[in-house]
Structure 1
Amino acid sequence: MARPRDTRVDEAILTATRELLAEAGYAGLTMDAVAERARIGKAAIYRRHATKQEMVFSAAVHGADLPDPPDTGSLRGDLVALVREIVDHLTNPAAAAAIPGLMGDLSSSPELAARFQDILVTRQQLGIEHLLDRAVARGELRTAPDVSLVHALVSGPVFAVIYVQNRSPEGLPEQLGTVIHAALAASSQNA
């Protein structure tokens, strides 16, 4: 029987990663430095995170155990809440230090990008699928739209506002949630 994972070690890894991102940035962060800061062996890190990029994403943005988006009782409310969560994930200091380097690594390694798709993006899309299924069950949508497209519609603009346009995301959850809601409702009526 496998021994249960020590959540104190999990938290020590994530805390050390966040601290080192703030101090040294993404390029300066190493698994050795995280192990030393967390006072653990590197093997403990590799049991939890196969790559530096997975460890950084888990510490800076979210882990693989991402909960479903909140159920506010309406599709529009759910979308606004989801966009707010994405904004919160992408604007914390650790994410700001990590995201540009992570994107560079993902774009230069098809294997790493595929692993991220399997482990993290799939979990994000599962949450969106549940959000859309709730809207169908409430009668707000006739059928659920393509989950990967809705994922792109929700996360792409947030990423663009924060990292490409370098603008404040203030008010973005309400604006983007409303626009996506209108598009999904119109598309559902035409289906």
Structure 2
Amino acid sequence: MNKPLGRPRNAHIDEAVLTAAAELLTEVGYAEVTMAAIADRAGTSRPAVYRRWPGKAHLVHEATFRDSVTVGVPQTGSFAEDLRELVRRIAELLTTPLARIAVPGLIAEAATDPVLHRRLLERFSATGWRGLDATLAAAVESGELDAEVDTLVMLEMVIGSALAATLTRGPDGLTPDWVDKTARILLNGVRPANREATS
């Protein structure tokens, strides 16, 4: 959310608006949600909503992905376990009931809204997953990870896999077995574990 100017905002209004947006998303879907309907449901004025969010997509983004949802993976001492947990959390994040409804619309609107596009990138970038850089650095130091691995590229692979799987399998298809297999491929590649790389 953008940093407010002037007098402090009323946190109760913020919460009421975010809750109203989430409720309406589940009831009528992304396309039918309007800022006016959200304001009415929240019991506040439309100008009050627009002072906080510039448009529907920005409000839906925040209602769908609260700051507490996106967290870094734990450092368990095993990079394989850390990677599996990253895959699991991203799969969970993208298959919540709200995300199932909101993500297609958000992706479409981000294509023409550079501010929203930047916010989505921040949400799913390395900075959005607090502690991930430290996790990867620890894995490099322990010899479990190639030092040339780029954090953002790895995140793109995990997020891309999850998004593609929701299209091909449906959101319910991102099962623990899918998480295990995806994490294993990301960790080891597609070659047999005992096969030497060929040039």
TM-score, normalised via structure 2 length: 0.76
One of 110, 121, 124 as aligned partner of 2:124: 121
Q: SS in structure 1 opposite 2:17?
A: helix
Separation (CA, whole Å) in 2 of partners of 1:83 and 1:62: 19
The residue number in structure 2 matching 1:146 is 150
Separation (CA, whole Å) in 1 of partners of 2:148 and 2:46: 43
Q: SS in structure 1 opposite 2:149?
A: coil
Corresponding position: 1:163 with 2:164 = no
Q: After superposing the two structures, state which structure 1 stretch, 93-102 or 69-78, moved more.
A: 69-78
Q: Which has the larger radius of gyration?
A: 2
The residue number in structure 1 matching 2:103 is 99
Corresponding position: 1:21 with 2:21 = no
Corresponding position: 1:176 with 2:179 = no
Q: In proportion to residue count, which structure has more helix? A: 1
Separation (CA, whole Å) in 2 of partners of 1:70 and 1:166: 28
Contact 2:90 2:159 (8 Å CA) reproduced = yes
Q: After superposing the two structures, state which structure 1 stretch, 128-137 or 145-154, moved more.
A: 128-137
Q: 1:110 to 1:55 in 2, by over 3 A?
A: closer
Unaligned runs of 5+ in 2: none
The residue number in structure 2 matching 1:50 is 54
Contact 1:17 1:59 (8 Å CA) reproduced = yes
The residue number in structure 1 matching 2:71 is 67
1:44-95 per-residue CA deviation (whole Å, 9 max, x = no partner) reads 4445433322221222234498332232322111111111111111111111
Q: Percent identity?
A: 33
Corresponding position: 1:111 with 2:114 = yes
- Cα RMSD of the aligned pairs, angstroms, is 3.0
Corresponding position: 1:78 with 2:74 = no
Separation (CA, whole Å) in 1 of partners of 2:76 and 2:6: 39
